[in-house]
């Protein structure tokens, strides 16, 4: 009997001292206040808060639309065989691309919003590429996420809002070229973004934005158009921009990824998303609680240390109301959520 009691006490002690992920509330809505309070009660390295007022988990989980890369996939570029010749030990403890290339601050700092479409793969890729045009003294350029979502995805047999791989965007950039296009309502470039989620959360489901989608989990992928919007002074074929090269980053090698950013600018990384990430507000994110919901792609612009924790500085595509004004920090160097497993970058063609 005594041995049974000791075993029970040991199990209780283990449960109380457990510092790994806490799958409590896994069957609750990830956006509920109860789940947010649970995360904050764990006293982890980050704080949770409400990012999607009035919405349910099923309204936003499709935003993680990045697909897994496949072995021997023709879209996958070779791993960079000519990495930057930088002494890894000489890399600074902290780095921010906005500081290194201040002339490109407006591009690097841009917060995008994929709205009601699972095309994070397109946003995370396009916005890293945009920065590299500026860094390479090719001017301020915005590639059309609309074209990538509709036409590039179709060229490689994907449903853009239903998901694709980041290599889809990079391969399309090199093979077909991508025209210009700004964010929703910008009227910038050949094909600006047209997908907009309707306002929700205040009992108002009216269509107040042209092209927005009411009460649907995800928008339909807009049809591919090989024409620029009316009034744009160029034909689409005269507005295409191409990659000189694109390549995979070294897997599970944080210093190599840092060297690439330090030498050439922001990159695109993918990672696994769990329910708790939807509620990130500040601090250094590491998986704490909840179920896996999908794979996500984001732009990485730097790194640093916070309370002795190494982190990547990332730019999300869920709007400025999400997280830390659209930015977030995620644990670096331990492949948290597989953040260092797969990434891509490229060099623009002049």
205 labelled catalytic: no
Q: How far apart are CA 173 and CA 190, in angstroms?
A: 15
For the purposes of burial, counting CB atoms within 10 Å of the CB of 203, is it exposed (0-12), middle (13-18) or buried (19 or more)?
Answer: exposed
Residue with tokens 């995800």: 218
Q: Is 308 a catalytic residue?
A: no
Distances (CA, A) of 126 to 12, 85, 212, 215, 348: 49, 26, 22, 28, 12
Place of tokens 């806490």: 22
Which one of the listed residues 104, 120, 161, 228 is annotated catalytic?
Answer: 120
Q: Which of 22, 296, 336, 337 is catalytic?
A: 296
Helices (H) and strands (E) in the chain, counts: 10, 11
- 116, 130, 316, 336: the catalytic one is 316
Question: Is 335 annotated in the active site?
Answer: no
Between CA 275 and CA 8 the distance in angstroms is: 31
Instruction: Work out the angle between the directed axes of helices 166-175 and 120-135 (0-180°, nearest 10).
Output: 50
> Any idea what DSSP says for residue 156?
T
Active-site residues: which are they? 120, 296, 316
């Amino acid at each position: 009997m005594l041995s049974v009691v000791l075993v029970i006490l040991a199990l209780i002690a283990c449960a109380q001292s457990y510092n790994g992920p806490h799958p409590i509330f896994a069957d609750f809505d990830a956006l509920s206040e109860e789940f947010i309070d649970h995360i904050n009660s764990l006293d982890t390295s980050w704080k949770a808060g409400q990012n999607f007022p009035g919405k349910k988990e099923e309204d936003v989980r499709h935003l993680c639309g990045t697909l897994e890369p496949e072995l021997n996939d023709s879209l996958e570029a070779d791993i960079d065989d000519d990495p930057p010749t930088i002494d890894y030990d000489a890399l600074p403890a902290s780095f921010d691309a906005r500081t290194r290339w201040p002339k490109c601050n407006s591009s690097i700092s841009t917060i995008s919003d994929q709205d009601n479409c699972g095309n994070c793969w397109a946003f995370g890729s396009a916005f890293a590429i945009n920065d590299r045009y500026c860094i390479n003294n090719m001017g301020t350029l915005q590639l059309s996420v609309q074209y990538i979502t509709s036409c590039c995805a179709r060229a490689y047999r994907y449903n853009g809002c239903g998901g694709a791989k980041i290599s889809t965007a990079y391969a399309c950039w090199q093979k077909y070229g991508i025209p210009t296009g700004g964010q929703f309502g910008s009227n910038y470039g050949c094909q600006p973004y047209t997908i907009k989620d309707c306002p929700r959360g205040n009992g108002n489901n009216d269509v107040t934005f042209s092209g927005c989608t009411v009460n649907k989990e995800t928008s339909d992928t807009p049809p591919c158009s090989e024409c620029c919007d009316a009034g744009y002074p160029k034909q689409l074929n005269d507005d295409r921009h191409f990659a000189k090269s694109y390549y995979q980053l070294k897997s599970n090698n944080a210093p190599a990824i840092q060297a690439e950013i330090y030498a050439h600018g922001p990159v695109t990384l993918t990672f696994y998303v769990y329910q708790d990430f939807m509620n990130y507000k500040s601090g250094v994110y590491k998986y704490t609680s909840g179920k896996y919901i999908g794979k996500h792609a984001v732009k990485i612009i730097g790194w640093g240390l916070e309370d002795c924790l190494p982190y990547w500085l990332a730019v999300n595509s869920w709007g400025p109301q999400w997280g830390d004004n659209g930015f977030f920090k995620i644990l670096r160097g331990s492949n948290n959520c597989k953040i260092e497993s797969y990434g891509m970058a490229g060099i623009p063609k002049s």
